[in-house]
Amino acid sequence: MTPPLLKVHGLTKRFPGVLALDDVRLEVAAGEVHALLGENGAGKSTLLRAIAAALKPDAGEILLAGERLDPRDAPADRQARGVVTIYQEFNLVPALTVAENLYLGREPRRGGFIDWRRLNADAAAVLQRLGVDLAPTALVGGLSVALQQMVEIARALTLDARLIIMDEPTAALSGREVEVLHRTVLALKASGVGVIYVTHRLAEVKAICDRYTVFRDGRYIQTGAVADVKVADLVAAMVGRDIAPAKRAPRAPGDWALRVSGVSRSRRRGAGLHDLALGVRAGEVLGLAGLVGAGRTELARAVFGADGPVEGVLWMGGDRPGLFRSPAEAMAAGLTLAPEDRKADGCFMPHSVRWNLSLPSLDRFRGFGGFIDDRGEAAMVDDFMKRLRIRAPSDATPIGALSGGNQQKVLLARCMALRPKVLIVDEPTRGVDVGAKAEVHQILFDLADAGVGVIVISSDMPELLEVSDRIVVLHEGRLGGEVARSDATEARLMQMMTGQSSTPVPAVH
């Protein structure tokens, strides 16, 4: 009987005060796409790091094709055995070409010098195997996130990968890029490569995975065939509790909370913006859709005053100040932004939950002599932690120690503490597990019910269809159309996102 490609048995790992893995197991066959599922904090990342030799387990064993792997291995040893991990944060050098990244440190040489012709030819062959239309001489720094992901996968193939671990591979991708990635994963499967696929998007599991394994609270829960399980049953296994769907009271939108028009910016950095106009009303959730590079994040940052110079006019509450010149000016007027990349732009990872949540609001607690009212600040933080169900040992816990969902809730609490009139939230549930996702949606609904104008940018079309009252679509930095939630479908949004059709956008008056 042929042994599985990967067998993990009895793996246990303890950190101070935490049992991260408790006697877990996992089996992956060659030519199989195996989903590893669980909420944030379930132990998935710890297991993946153990398989990649990025950490050493306290007990248990890992076998590759029936051969026990040495627990003293370094990551390079596992890579040499064909175990390759593709993390959410890419391990690429932007200033180098695609070919140079594929063979970095392993360049073919001739006469002591790099053989550039062979390097580029070998890279072209690997890219062709994946069906990726990409020049080996292209600079990686100029590629989209989706193409950078293809470069990471191609690099894995140059390492003769037998097992590829993909950690949230579609978290930064939109519809069309996801389809490309799925085709690539299925091509890997057809060539006999085993794939461990970690995702919170259960529709992807049903689309491309053969089997699944669920972890919860560091323990193995179950394994099965994807074809034999319902999504609702996967959710129940992952969370071990009932998830109340986000609910929203019927409400007619109020007056315009924010309007912008003529927003334009040359393509200095990121996507260009071309004469954009949109608005959000008080109590409304406006969805903003588009492919990667369509200009969604660039528009949000331009309106927030984070990227300049940008042409355009902005109205808030009847005022006509022009576009904000800085985020501080925007926040003073009642506009705040929860950014796309919470780790790089939103959260200060070494600092505490309290520090992250209260920092922009400290002036409210500044008393005589400029001193901070610690009791008032602590009471506010405690109130938000209870209201938003932020799970942390205390407000002194470093935010970097929290799950992605709880980090996102701290970021939203920080925005709420500013008492905004308008909130722009960019990718609100990226990397957030299924349980926390419903809680984040409820927070957005509660803000809208309180009269805040909410703009949601998301690459997850089902999310936009679930939370939005209206959806505006961007295509290559231009307005691609607008559709009411009652008339929106994924197919219709995709047509507008790819420029195949458009729905006229009503004038914002």
Question: What's the pLDDT tens digit per position in 315-366?
Answer: 987 666 678 889 999 999 999 999 988 877 888 888 999 999 999 888 888 8
Indicate the residue type of 170.
Answer: T
Query: Residues 64, 83: contact at Cβ < 8 Å?
Result: yes
Helix 116-130 with 175-190: angle, nearest 10 deg: 100
Say which amino acid occupies 315: W
Pairwise CA distance, residues 128 & 133, whole Å = 7
For 409-464, write each residue's pLDDT tens digit.
999 999 999 999 999 999 888 877 777 788 889 999 999 999 999 999 998 888 99
Does 269 score more than 70 pLDDT?
no
Cβ of 233: how many Cβ atoms within 10 Å? 13
DSSP annotation of 276: E
Q: Which residue has the tokens 């950190």?
A: 15
**130 torsion bin: left (phi>0), alpha (psi -120 to 50), beta (else):** alpha
Task: Give the CA dihedral 459, 463, 465, 471, nearest 10 degrees.
Answer: -50
Q: For the chain, which domains are there?
A: 6-239 (3.40.50.300), 255-347+416-498 (3.40.50.300)
Query: What is the tens place of the pLDDT at every residue in 39-80?
Result: 877 899 899 999 999 999 999 999 999 999 999 999 999 999
**How much is the pLDDT for 282?**
95
Query: For residues 432, 433, 437 and 439, what is the CA-based torsion angle, rounded to 10 degrees?
Result: -110
How high is the pLDDT of residue 499? 82
Helix (H, G, I), strand (E, B) or coil at 161: coil
316 close to 422: Cβ distance less than 8 angstroms: yes
Residue 193 sits at φ, ψ, to 5 deg, of -75, 135
Return d(Cα 187, Cα 193) in angstroms, integer: 9
Identify which has the larger pLDDT, 242 or 374.
Answer: 374
pLDDT over 90 percentage in the chain: 54
Task: List all residues 6 or more positions away from 94 whose beta carbon is below 8 Å from its beta carbon.
Answer: 139, 140, 141
Question: What's the gap between Cα 238 and its chain centre?
Answer: 19
What is the secondary structure of 309-377 as a DSSP string? S-EEEEEBTTB---S-SSHHHHHHHTEEEE-S-IIIII--TTSBHHHHHHGGGGGGGB-GGG-B-HHHH
pLDDT of residue 508: 61
Neighbours of 150 (CB within 10 A): 22
